[in-house]
């Protein structure tokens, strides 16, 4: 796995996942830009994702659901704030019902994905999640957000090797 660090900073209400990938930046960018690639890694292996809507441009929306091992469904959405291809994405992320309506009982977070050329064939990817409150951070961490991100990203090497 190429996740090199997961840092939780309660004072700044952030979780930062740093990873390095043996692929050029454009190929790593496609992990987000291509909905078929995104759905192959966004959910942990036991909760695969299905991308329903994918409009990766400012003001656009991405909607998806993850299917659990018991057939349970967990829907989510992103609102695309900004895109600087292939260097940066800014997104809002939340839970939704099966019709795509935001679930207001669950926290909405913001996250920024940055991509850095380390060498021509090696790319750094950093995902910084910003939580609206300490309670929201605790709730999502207790739900396994950090471990879920680690295991989800553990699927990326196989996609990049293709």
Is residue 36 classed as helix, strand or coil in its secondary structure? helix
Domains of the chain: total:
1
| Cross-strand partners of 52 | none
Instruction: Name the DSSP class of 127.
Output: E
In terms of Cβ atoms closer than 10 Å to its own Cβ (0-12, 13-18, 19+), residue 85 is middle
| Overall average pLDDT of the 4-26 stretch | 95
Residues 56-74 pLDDT 10s? 999 999 999 999 999 999 9
CATH number, domain at 67? 3.30.530.20
Going by pLDDT thresholds of 50, 70 and 90, the confidence category of residue 1 is: very low
For the beta carbon of residue 48, count every other beta carbon within 10 angstroms. 18
Residues 77-133 pLDDT 10s? 999 999 999 999 999 999 998 888 889 889 999 999 999 999 999 999 999 999 999
Q: Domain residues for 86?
A: 3-160
| Overall average pLDDT of the 131-143 stretch | 95
Cα gap 147→24, rounded to integer Å: 26
């Amino acid at each position: 796995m190429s996740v090199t660090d997961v840092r939780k900073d309660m004072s700044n209400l952030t979780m930062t996942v740093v990873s390095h990938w043996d692929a050029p930046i454009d190929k790593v960018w496609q992990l987000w830009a291509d909905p078929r690639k995104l759905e192959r890694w966004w959910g942990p292996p036991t909760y695969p994702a299905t991308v329903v809507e994918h409009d990766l441009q400012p003001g656009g929306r991405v909607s998806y659901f993850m299917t659990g091992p018991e057939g349970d469904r967990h829907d989510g959405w992103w609102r695309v704030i900004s895109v600087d291809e292939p260097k940066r994405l800014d997104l809002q992320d939340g839970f939704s019902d099966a019709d795509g309506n935001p679930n207001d009982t669950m926290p909405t977070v913001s996250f920024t994905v940055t991509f850095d050329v380390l060498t021509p064939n090696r790319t750094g990817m950093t995902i910084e999640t910003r939580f609206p409150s300490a309670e929201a951070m605790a709730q999502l961490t207790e739900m396994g957000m950090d471990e879920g991100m680690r295991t989800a990203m553990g699927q990326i090497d196989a996609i990049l090797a293709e």
